[in-house]
């Protein structure tokens, strides 16, 4: 008998993956040159798959705020929010996020993953229902599982399918929570929030939106899809992360339901983990302030998005359903995605590779995510690398 016997199957598939996709699993950013450039395998490459939408991980004022917090408050909090881990920065950031989202309450968590885990596991328990979009992030699924609610998936962005299920499930006479994302992390499309909010009202359900990829990216003021779609009021819970446009680490939930404060002593992912470090909080606070006061960054991000999208579609590549800063390039089979990914890296461009079963529709794709910090020359270089990779592929 061995406790590791069950690992055998995983090891087998791990070995196969490493053999075929070893280069992909072994990517190390050996030196960070800027938020859009790093050294990988000893070679300088353009980063085109980082979720660093506004380039703020390397912003001077964010770095300075983090350094000051490090000096004044130390390297870590050494405790959970519930015990000795709530510093004044956590409380200030909660107030700032409440005002940003126009909500009465915000809780800051250690990661975005932890925020979804905490919120969903507490909101929906046994006998209650969560209806989630089939493309929702793993943290939303895991939160639902942890809470023990009945989980039902509706087809990705299919409002008719959502309503059909909602109608049937509402006959059970129990609480129903609908979970969607502002921008879906893989295909980069938006939730159909206006229609979803209408249906939610009609059936008396609750609505949670994860704005992880849309904070700072969508809306005139960067307040995500809730702002862009104009249905802010109908959304019960907004969750998100500091690890994308804010360039830091941490997560949050904002809501007008005062009951969410209960999570502070009832939610295990809040109570039983150390709070985000002072440097992470200081960087996130500064970045949020930049999102509010620097709309030019959002404009640059969208200019870059349109120009890369135009270049890639002119190459005849199969792209995602919408034009957003997440641009997936789809391939018929995983081998084609891998060979293109390898050629891109050889040509000095790093993108994410997403393979089944992690892909929403079973296809393989290369996922580009753009940044306000990409220069016009870098955008051109990314497009040229795809062009070269495609040309090399046609020779084989
Ligand atoms: N929600 C979504 C939609 C995400 O894409 C991610 C991160 N990939 C998370 C939550 C988790 O965020 P974090 O990295 O802060 O744990």
Least confident of 9-18, 25-34, 211-220, 383-392: 9-18
Residue 370 has which token pair? 């753009």
CA–CA separation, 185 and 200 (whole Å) = 23
By CB atoms closer than 10 A (0-12, 13-18, 19+), residue 333 is: exposed
pLDDT at residue 334 tops 90? no
- Show the domains of the chain with their CATH numbers: 12-47+295-394 (3.90.1150.10), 60-293 (3.40.640.10)
Residue 20 has which token pair? 């075929």
By CB atoms closer than 10 A (0-12, 13-18, 19+), residue 270 is: buried
Q: How far is the CA of 310 from the centre of ligand 1 (A)?
A: 28
Ligand 1 atom at shortest distance from the alpha carbon of 114: 16
Residue 147 · residue 122 · CB < 8 Å: yes
* CA-nearest residue, atom 5 of ligand 1: 185
Residue 23 has which token pair? 């280069």
Angle between helical axes of 295-314 and 376-395 (0-180°, round to 10): 20
Residue 213: active-site member = yes
Closest by CA to 112, choosing from 49, 57, 181, is: 181
Ligand 1 atom at shortest distance from the alpha carbon of 116: 10
CA–CA separation, 243 and 250 (whole Å) = 7
Q: How far is the CA of 113 from the centre of ligand 1 (A)?
A: 5
Q: How far is the CA of 238 from the centre of ligand 1 (A)?
A: 13
Q: How far is the CA of 211 from the centre of ligand 1 (A)?
A: 9
Pocket residues for ligand 1 (CB within 6 Å)?
Answer: 111-113, 116, 137, 139, 181, 185, 210, 212-213, 241, 243, 251
Question: Ligand 1, residues 208, 243, 360: which to mutate, most atoms within 8 A of Cβ?
Answer: 243
**pTM for this entry:** 0.96
- How do 150-154 and 176-181 pair as beta strands? unpaired
Ligand 1 atom at shortest distance from the alpha carbon of 139: 10
Residue 136 · residue 120 · CB < 8 Å: no
CA–CA separation, 312 and 382 (whole Å) = 9
Q: For 345-380, what is each residue's pLDDT tens digit?
A: 999 999 999 887 777 667 899 999 999 999 999 999
pLDDT at residue 271 tops 80? yes
Confidence of residue 2 (pLDDT cuts 50, 70, 90): confident
Q: How far is the CA of 254 from the centre of ligand 1 (A)?
A: 16
CA–CA separation, 342 and 350 (whole Å) = 9
Confidence of residue 3 (pLDDT cuts 50, 70, 90): confident
By CB atoms closer than 10 A (0-12, 13-18, 19+), residue 171 is: exposed
Angle between helical axes of 278-293 and 60-73 (0-180°, round to 10): 150
* CA-nearest residue, atom 15 of ligand 1: 112
Catalytic residue among 137, 156, 200, 244: 244
Ligand 1 atom at shortest distance from the alpha carbon of 185: 5
Q: For 135-146, what is each residue's pLDDT tens digit?
A: 999 999 999 999
CA–CA separation, 132 and 156 (whole Å) = 9
**Confidence at residue 32, expressed as pLDDT on a 0 to 100 scale:** 97
Mean pLDDT, residues 147-159 = 97
Spell out the alpha helix ranges (H) of the chain.
7-25, 60-73, 88-101, 112-123, 138-147, 159-170, 193-203, 224-229, 263-266, 268-271, 278-293, 295-314, 334-346, 376-395
**Confidence at residue 396, expressed as pLDDT on a 0 to 100 scale:** 54
Angle between helical axes of 138-147 and 112-123 (0-180°, round to 10): 30
Residue 244: active-site member = yes
Q: What is the mean pLDDT of the chain?
A: 94
Phi-psi region of 341 (alpha: psi -120 to 50; beta: other; left: phi over 0): alpha
* pLDDT more than 90, % of the chain: 87
How many other C-beta atoms lie within 10 A of the C-beta of residue 377? 9
Residue 144 has which token pair? 């639902």
Q: DSSP string covering 30-57, please?
A: -EEEETTEEEETTEEEEE-BS--TT-GG
Residue 192: active-site member = no
Instruction: Lay out the sheet containing 37-40: strands in order across.
Output: 31-34, 37-40, 43-47, 349-350
């Amino acid at each position: 008998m061995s406790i590791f016997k069950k690992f055998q199957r995983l090891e087998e598939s791990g070995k196969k993956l490493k053999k075929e996709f070893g280069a992909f699993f072994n990517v190390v950013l050996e030196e960070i040159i800027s938020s859009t450039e790093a050294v990988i395998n000893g070679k300088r490459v353009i980063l085109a798959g980082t979720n660093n939408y506004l380039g703020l991980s390397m912003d001077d004022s964010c770095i300075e705020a983090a350094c000051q917090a490090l000096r004044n408050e130390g390297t870590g909090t050494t405790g959970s929010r519930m015990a000795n881990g709530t510093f004044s920065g956590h409380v200030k950031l909660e107030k700032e996020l409440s005002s940003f989202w126009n909500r009465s309450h915000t809780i800051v968590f250690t990661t975005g993953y932890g925020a979804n885990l905490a919120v969903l596991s507490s909101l929906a328990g046994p006998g209650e229902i969560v209806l989630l979009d089939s493309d929702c992030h793993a943290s939303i699924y895991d939160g639902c599982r942890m809470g023990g609610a009945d989980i039902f998936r509706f087809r990705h962005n299919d409002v008719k399918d959502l309503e059909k299920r909602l109608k049937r499930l509402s006959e059970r006479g129990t609480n129903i929570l609908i979970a969607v994302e502002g921008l879906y992390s893989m295909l980069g499309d938006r939730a159909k929030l206006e229609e979803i909010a209408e249906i939610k009202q009609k059936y008396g359900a609750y609505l949670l939106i994860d704005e992880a990829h849309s904070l700072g990216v969508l809306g005139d003021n960067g307040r995500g899809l809730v702002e862009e779609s104009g249905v802010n009021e109908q959304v019960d819970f907004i969750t998100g992360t500091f690890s994308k446009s804010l360039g830091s680490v941490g997560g949050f939930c904002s809501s007008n339901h005062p009951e969410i404060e209960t999570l502070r002593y009832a939610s295990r992912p809040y109570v039983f983990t150390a709070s985000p470090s002072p440097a992470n909080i200081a960087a996130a606070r500064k970045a949020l302030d930049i999102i509010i006061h620097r709309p030019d960054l959002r404009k640059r991000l969208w200019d870059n998005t349109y120009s890369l999208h135009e270049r890639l579609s002119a190459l005849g590549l199969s792209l995602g359903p919408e034009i957003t800063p997440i641009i997936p390039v789809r391939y018929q089979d995983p081998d084609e995605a891998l060979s293109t990914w390898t050629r891109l890296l050889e040509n000095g461009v790093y993108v994410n590779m997403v393979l089944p079963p992690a892909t929403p529709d079973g296809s393989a794709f290369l996922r580009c995510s753009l940044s306000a910090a990409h220069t016009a020359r870098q955008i051109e270089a990314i497009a040229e690398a795809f062009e070269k990779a495609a040309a090399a592929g046609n020779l084989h």
